[in-house]
Structure 1
Amino acid sequence: MTTLDGATLIARSLRQQGVDYMFGIVGIPVVPVAIAFQREGGKFFGMRNEQAASYAAGAVGYLTGRPGACLAVSGPGMVHAIAGLANAWANGWPMILLGGANDSYQNGQGAFQEAPQIEAARPFAKYCARPDSTRRIPFFIEQAVRHSIYGRPGPVYVDLPGDIITGTAEESEVRFPPRCPDPPRALAPEENVRAALELLKQAERPLVIVGKGMAYARAEDEVREFIDRTRLPYLPTPMGKGVIPDDHPLSVAPARSFALQNADVVFLMGARLNWILHFGLPPRFSPTVKTIQLDIEPEEIGNNVPCTVPLVGDGKAIVGQLNALLRSEPWEYPSETTWWTALRQKAAENEEMVRQMENDDSVPMGYYRVLREVRELLPKDAIVASEGANTMDISRTVIPNYFPRHRLDAGTFGTMGVGLAQAIAAQVVHPDKKVVAIEGDSAFGFSGMEVEVMARYRLPITVIIVNNNGISGGPTQLDPNRVPPNAYLPNAHYEKIAEAFGGKGWFVTTPQELRPALEAALNSDTFSIVNIMIDTRAGRKPQQFAWLTR
């Protein structure tokens, strides 16, 4: 007879359910779980903060379609990891948080780090459970994984008391459920598919918006075929970039505000009318706009703006239905219309404005000058993780993406501190690709110690810090008796952190220093930090609307 302990059952169940990556910080009572996960062939990465571990687990879920795991100790550790649950909840990414807990027979006695962990996780988790016995662990792990990837993807939580982890069961008494298959790809009713195409044919000013839901659905081939067949203008959301290469001739991203404001029919492909798309409301959208909504979640249909044609189901499957109808009944939007003329004119105006800012060699430099150089040196298939207000927003417009799931950022939750963890997740999932984290100095500070993780696991990530001395720019000199709330230490040498852990660092202040530093960092076989000082007053190009259209 073979006896298995709880840690082995947890690890073996995770591996059987397709969970390959785990991020966490070990301690009482979860150390055995990490050891067992490695023994079962999983990849465990010890992080420096549970927040970063949870962010990495969510990013793995997005990149692979199977949940990444975050392992946290009880009490404070689990509470720290709720940040990643919330981020995955907002983005619709699968992840599984495994929280250690006090021995169950000590509940209510004031046990070490005892906390209402299931209650704390529940607002952000699709599924929360505590195994009722060691032998039933596989049942709960399979349920957790299935809930995380079926329907609208999202995070799940499994509470693991110490006595469940160290408990034992005879292998003959344990039932391992079969691997949960990938989610079924639900189709839309044929009449809705036909109605969507008919509405697009009637439109004078149509627009397709490609969201990160299409990237998650692995729908890139279908979406590209749809755009190529219909010749419709489109623009991507921030993480929808790359589903269609950003250099596609039908992209109207440079005319984003104009396109949103003037479209009469908008086809939302895996994108939600939330704050990122200004809720679909005036003045950012037409008050009479009609919408086609393709979404996995029925409750999202008609949110903020009444939906004209709903397409509820899987993005890859439904766009496949649209393409099948177009093959039998071809149609394309005319290339010479007043709508196309207006879009091209606005795009050209905006591109010229940006070009002037990109070519400005003033010292100190601005965002556009720095990011132009990054763009020119990045490999085409580089994965970019970006965060930090202006750094993130401007990099989205300056740095193109050519492949799906090659851009990660603060996402729907607008979370700062995700960048380094997401870069680590991308590098472990794609060890053959160049991964670059483009950070504001404020964003870098949230999780800067994670560079030690890059050093420990020899992850050759390039971290580029666009440094303006604070949140939205701080002073170049500080009076310690009157420090502004948004100010950080001026001209801080963050690149020295890389050197402390055996990496390489560069401190850049001029355009002449910029390209050599970036070239050396991007070609380095170890992790590196390029710390670039910019004008503390630098910002985005003039915007028609203020932040959140206030």
Structure 2
Amino acid sequence: VEGTGEELHNSVKSEVAIQSDMKPAVAQILEGLQRNKFVFSSQNEWWRELEKKCQDNKKIVQAMSADVSTPLNYYAVFHNLYEALPDNCIIVSEGANTMDIGRSMLFNNLPRHRLDAGTFGTMGVGPGFAIAAALYCRHYEPNKRVICVEGDSAFGFSGMEVETMVRYKLPITVVVVNNSGIYTGMEPEIFKDIQESGEITKVTPPGCLSSVTRYDNMMSLFGRVGFFVQTVPELKKAVNEALKIKDGPTIVNVIINPTADRKPQTFNWLTESKL
């Protein structure tokens, strides 16, 4: 079920593709099932296998969320970040693993409260989306907060929009999930050794960014404070303090393991490019 027609059959061809908003589509499907007295047994082999996979996935994610050893992993960050967020805030998210994992860890109870890069993963849209959302909140829902969760690579595309946020005094909390790379980065010592091993433009992996970049220090350009985070207690404290700021943005720079990854996927098409 997809509201936008051109998104139907994206990546994998659907057996049945319905262009509709979710609510009327589900209502009509349920009405048809009830009219035909359709019953699906909970003992069906397919259903039992699906239920087992759901429980197995849940256990894996719970274990990763509970692992708060440093450097942190994505799941521990998102689990504890979500617990610190105000109810029904608008969540903007973009990045590689940051956006993908965030979709399953940072939940929304209301429609139109998640903005991200969409199917094609167009990086750089996050801060602009957050600015638009914050302007909406200023005029129509002044008590609602905007949380902009960025991978460090994604943040690099349009991070200086922070100046726009400062200029218009928009209270956006920017959380940079910093693994020092695109999908994977490197520890500072290893990154330094590799760059010194030959011609720097030839030996530096294109997917690696500068290690442990202090994006939080960007706030000092405007006489404001950012937060540098390496542990879960620091994350909770930083988010709580950031949400107290009402006259402008701040950056919470969360350092995670440069080799942190998403939960293993069973099917390759779940992670392959959709272009």
Task: Sort the TM-score into its range (normalised by shorter chain).
Answer: 0.7 to 0.9
Given the alignment of the two structures, is residue 472 of structure 1 paired with residue 196 of structure 2, yes or no? no
Q: Cα RMSD over matched residues?
A: 2.8
Q: For 2:159, what is the secondary structure of its paired residue?
A: helix
| Pairwise CA distance, 1:543 | 1.5
Residue 243 of structure 2 is matched in structure 1 by: 522
Given the alignment of the two structures, is residue 507 of structure 1 paired with residue 228 of structure 2, yes or no? yes
| Pairwise CA distance, 1:367 | 0.6
Given the alignment of the two structures, is residue 421 of structure 1 paired with residue 128 of structure 2, yes or no? yes
Show the 5 A alignment for 1:263-412.
Answer: 272-275=8-11, 278-280=12-14, 290-291=15-16, 293-295=17-19, 315=21, 319=25, 322=28, 329=35, 331=37, 333-334=39-40, 336-338=42-44, 339-412=46-119
Given the alignment of the two structures, is residue 437 of structure 1 paired with residue 148 of structure 2, yes or no? yes
| Pairwise CA distance, 1:385 | 1.0
Distance 1:496 1:336, change over 3 A: same
CA distance in 1, matches of 2:67, 2:26: 45
| Pairwise CA distance, 1:435 | 0.9
- Contact map agreement 1:270 1:294 (CA 8 A) in 2: no
AA aligned to 1:500 is L
Given the alignment of the two structures, is residue 531 of structure 1 paired with residue 267 of structure 2, yes or no? no
CA distance in 2, matches of 1:476, 1:436: 28
CA distance in 2, matches of 1:517, 1:331: 54
Distance 1:521 1:317, change over 3 A: closer
Distance 1:333 1:349, change over 3 A: same
Q: Residue deviations 1:107-147, cap 9 Å, x none?
A: xxxxxxxxxxxxxxxxxxxxxxxxxxxxxxxxxxxxxxxxx
Q: For 1:529, what is the secondary structure of its paired residue?
A: strand
Residue 548 of structure 1 is matched in structure 2 by: 272
CA distance in 2, matches of 1:529, 1:542: 30
| Pairwise CA distance, 1:342 | 2.6
AA aligned to 1:447 is S
Among 435, 454, 458, the residue aligned to 2:165: 454
CA distance in 2, matches of 1:450, 1:444: 10
Q: Residue deviations 1:1-23, cap 9 Å, x none?
A: xxxxxxxxxxxxxxxxxxxxxxx
CA distance in 1, matches of 2:30, 2:66: 46
AA aligned to 1:465 is V
Distance 1:383 1:335, change over 3 A: farther
Given the alignment of the two structures, is residue 495 of structure 1 paired with residue 216 of structure 2, yes or no? yes
Structure number having the greater strand percentage? 1
Distance 1:344 1:475, change over 3 A: same
CA distance in 2, matches of 1:466, 1:317: 33
Q: Given the two structures, how large is their TM-score scaled by the length of structure 1?
A: 0.43
AA aligned to 1:322 is Q
Show the 5 A alignment for 1:151-190.
Answer: none
- Contact map agreement 2:186 2:259 (CA 8 A) in 1: no
| Pairwise CA distance, 1:497 | 1.2
Distance 1:336 1:323, change over 3 A: closer
Q: For 1:470, what is the secondary structure of its paired residue?
A: coil
Q: Given the two structures, how large is their TM-score scaled by the length of structure 2?
A: 0.83
- Contact map agreement 1:504 1:527 (CA 8 A) in 2: no
Distance 1:317 1:377, change over 3 A: closer
AA aligned to 1:505 is G
Q: For 1:462, what is the secondary structure of its paired residue?
A: strand
- Contact map agreement 1:455 1:502 (CA 8 A) in 2: no
CA distance in 1, matches of 2:65, 2:115: 23
Distance 1:498 1:345, change over 3 A: same
CA distance in 1, matches of 2:273, 2:136: 38
| Pairwise CA distance, 1:471 | 1.5
CA distance in 1, matches of 2:27, 2:55: 34
Q: For 1:465, what is the secondary structure of its paired residue?
A: strand
Moved runs in structure 1, 4+ residues, more than 3 A?
Answer: 314-321, 323-335
Distance 1:453 1:343, change over 3 A: same
Q: For 1:376, what is the secondary structure of its paired residue?
A: helix
AA aligned to 2:266 is Q
Q: For 1:516, what is the secondary structure of its paired residue?
A: helix
- Contact map agreement 1:468 1:535 (CA 8 A) in 2: yes
Distance 1:346 1:523, change over 3 A: farther
Residue 463 of structure 1 is matched in structure 2 by: 174
Equivalenced residue count is 256
| Pairwise CA distance, 1:392 | 0.6
Gaps of 5+ in 2: none
| Pairwise CA distance, 1:332 | 5.9
CA distance in 2, matches of 1:487, 1:549: 20
- Contact map agreement 1:455 1:503 (CA 8 A) in 2: no
Q: Which one has more relative contact order, counting CA pairs under 8 Å at least 6 apart? A: 2
